[in-house]
């Protein structure tokens, strides 16, 4: 499409604008719409948490990055400096602490258990060793790679644990209907009274036996407020966290599985996506991983606490409910769709036959 635009004689800022919508249209398609969709390492993600995310989201930020790069390539120095300044101010904005104290009366003390490929009793023991003031406990995705509710001993122990410590729990387990071969990868939330609800992973991983995908993205009502519990890969894409927030999620508890055999770089790249989602939607997020990175993220996407890669242990931190919706959650998520619509029109025009100009005009 770029070469077609050049052959049509598009130059100057028309070419710069086309380059931006062309890039961003394909990027959004590759990241969110293509059957093998994969949203890691976009141009907007490379900027990290910033002040534009709550307005236009990560794909909108990609457009600013591409405009900056195009301005530099075309030696439009004044314009390039302007876009660079926008990015710089946006990143500085995110470094400010969110309004209010984290340890106010609404804050919830959360403890996450970062362990991989261990037994139920190992998670149970680690939870029992958490400080007494922990109110919410998280076990990672696939902590219990079976339907724990079908095991009467373990389910009873979980309920007793919640009752004795007065805690709410979210853990990675499965849902397997009796008499069916189908199963679902879920985040199950429970307290002393039993199961509070579950979220079925919507975005199952390609080429991986990850269960049947879910179709809903709703928060779960708990004693600590409405909690969003997306599972791992759900947070790589923009839709699940946004829909949960719009449906009333006040904070997020996220069980994930980042396998030990990944490189440290893969862990760190994946960790960045949760910061983007927190910043887009203005919500606190507690991420509990199997082997890192477990992290506490504030509504500006800044990491307040973390447990490093390939380190077994527990992460404890405070998060608090937020109710205000960002512009992105309300309307800004439409930004890449609008860009894609404009790009589609431009692609169609470029695919249509072009009437050749007279030879003398070409020679001139």
In a domain, 103, yes or no: no
In a domain, 102, yes or no: no
Tokens of 267: 């862990």
Specify whether 70 is located in the same domain as 144. Answer: no
Specify whether 131 is located in the same domain as 221. Answer: yes
Rg (CA), the chain: 23
Contacts with 218 (C-beta within 8 Å, 6 or more apart), sequence order: 199, 243, 244, 247
pLDDT score of 360: 44
313-347: b (≥16 Cβ within 10 Å) or e: ebbbbbbbbbeebbebbeebbebbeebbebbeebb
Q: 230: domain CATH number?
A: 3.60.110.10
Specify whether 191 is located in the same domain as 252. Answer: yes
In a domain, 61, yes or no: yes
Specify whether 50 is located in the same domain as 139. Answer: no
pLDDT in tens, the chain (364 residues): 999 999 999 998 899 999 999 999 999 999 999 999 999 989 999 999 999 999 999 999 999 999 999 988 888 888 878 888 888 888 887 777 555 566 667 899 999 999 999 999 999 999 999 999 999 999 999 999 999 999 999 999 999 999 999 999 999 999 998 778 899 999 999 999 999 999 999 999 999 999 999 999 999 999 999 999 999 999 999 999 999 999 999 999 999 999 999 999 999 999 999 999 999 999 999 999 999 899 999 999 999 999 989 999 999 999 999 999 999 999 999 999 999 999 999 999 999 987 665 444 444 4
In a domain, 130, yes or no: yes
Specify whether 61 is located in the same domain as 118. Answer: no
In a domain, 339, yes or no: yes
In a domain, 329, yes or no: no
- Domain hosting 356: range is 2-96+334-363
In a domain, 101, yes or no: no
Specify whether 183 is located in the same domain as 295. Answer: yes
Three-state secondary structure string covering the chain: CHHHHHHCCCCHHHHHHHHHHHHHHHHHHHHHHCCCCCCCCCCCHHHCCCCCHHHHHHHHHHHHHHHHHHHHHCCCHHHHHHHHHHHHHHHHHHCCCCCCCCCCCCCEEEEEEECCCCCHHHHHHHHHCCCCCCCEEECCCCCCCCCHHHCHHHHHHHHHHHHHHCCEEEEEEEECCCCCCCCEEEEEEEECCEEEEEEECCCCCCCCCCCCCCCCCCCEEECCEEEECCCHHHHHCCHHHHHHHHCCCCEEEEECCCCCCCCHHHHHHHHHHHHHHHHHHCCCEEEECCCCCEEEECCCCCEEEEECCCCCEEEEEEECCCCCCCHHHHCHHHHHHHHHHHHHHHHHHHHCCCCCCCHHHHHC
**pTM, to two decimals:** 0.92
Confirm if 255 and 232 have CB atoms less than 8 A apart.
yes
Domain count along the chain: 2
Report the distance separating Cα 324 and Cα 26, nearest Å: 32
Specify whether 114 is located in the same domain as 205. Answer: yes
Specify whether 65 is located in the same domain as 214. Answer: no
Report the distance separating Cα 351 and Cα 195, nearest Å: 55
Tokens of 343: 């790009």
Specify whether 24 is located in the same domain as 134. Answer: no
Confirm if 24 and 32 have CB atoms less than 8 A apart.
no
Peptide bond before 293: cis, by omega within 30 degrees of 0?
Answer: yes
Counting other chains too, the contacts that 341-347 makes at CB distance below 8 Å and 24 or more residues apart are 342/21, 342/25, 343/21, 343/22, 343/24, 343/25, 343/26, 344/25, 346/1, 346/5, 346/18, 346/21, 346/22, 347/1, 347/22, 347/25
Specify whether 55 is located in the same domain as 142. Answer: no
202 C-beta neighbours (distance < 10 Å), count:
18
pLDDT score of 363: 44
Best CA proximity match to 340, nearest among 352, 351, 328, 348: 348
238 C-beta neighbours (distance < 10 Å), count:
23
Specify whether 115 is located in the same domain as 90. Answer: no
In a domain, 328, yes or no: no
Specify whether 16 is located in the same domain as 60. Answer: yes
């Amino acid at each position: 499409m770029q070469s077609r635009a050049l052959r049509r004689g598009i130059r100057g800022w028309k070419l710069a604008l086309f380059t931006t919508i062309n890039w961003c249209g394909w990027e959004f398609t590759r990241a969110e719409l293509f059957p093998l969709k994969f949203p890691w390492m976009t141009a907007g993600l490379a900027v990290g948490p910033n002040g534009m995310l709550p307005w236009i989201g990560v794909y909108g930020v990609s457009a600013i990055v591409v405009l900056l790069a195009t301005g530099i390539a075309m030696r439009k120095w004044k314009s390039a400096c302007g876009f660079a300044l926008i990015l710089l101010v946006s990143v500085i904005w995110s470094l400010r602490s969110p309004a209010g104290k984290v340890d106010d009366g609404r804050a919830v003390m959360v403890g996450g258990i970062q362990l991989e490929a261990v037994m139920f009793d190992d998670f149970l023991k680690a939870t029992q060793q958490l400080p007494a003031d922990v109110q919410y406990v998280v076990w990672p995705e696939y902590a219990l790679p079976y339907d724990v509710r079908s095991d009467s001993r373990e389910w009873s122990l979980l309920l007793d644990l919640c009752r004795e410590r007065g805690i709410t729990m979210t853990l990675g387990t499965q849902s397997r209907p009796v008499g069916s071969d189908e199963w679902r990868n879920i985040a199950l939330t429970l307290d002393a009274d039993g199961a509070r609800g579950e979220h079925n992973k919507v975005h199952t991983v390609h080429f991986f036996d990850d269960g049947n995908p879910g179709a809903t993205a709703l928060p779960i009502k708990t004693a600590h407020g409405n909690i969003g519990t997306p599972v791992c890969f759900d947070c790589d894409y923009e839709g699940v966290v946004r829909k949960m927030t719009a449906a009333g999620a006040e904070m997020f508890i996220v069980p994930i599985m980042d396998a030990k055999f990944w490189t440290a770089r893969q862990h760190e790249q994946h960790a960045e996506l949760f910061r983007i989602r927190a910043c887009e939607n203005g919500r606190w997020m507690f991420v509990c991983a199997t082997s890192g990175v477990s992290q506490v993220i504030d509504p500006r996407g800044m990491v307040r606490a973390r447990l490093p890669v390939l380190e077994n242990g527990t992460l404890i931190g405070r998060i608090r409910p937020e109710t205000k919706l960002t512009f992105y959650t309300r309307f800004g998520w439409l930004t890449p769709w609008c860009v894609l619509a404009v790009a589609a029109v431009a692609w169609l025009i470029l695919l249509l036959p072009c009437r050749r100009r007279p030879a003398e005009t070409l020679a001139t």
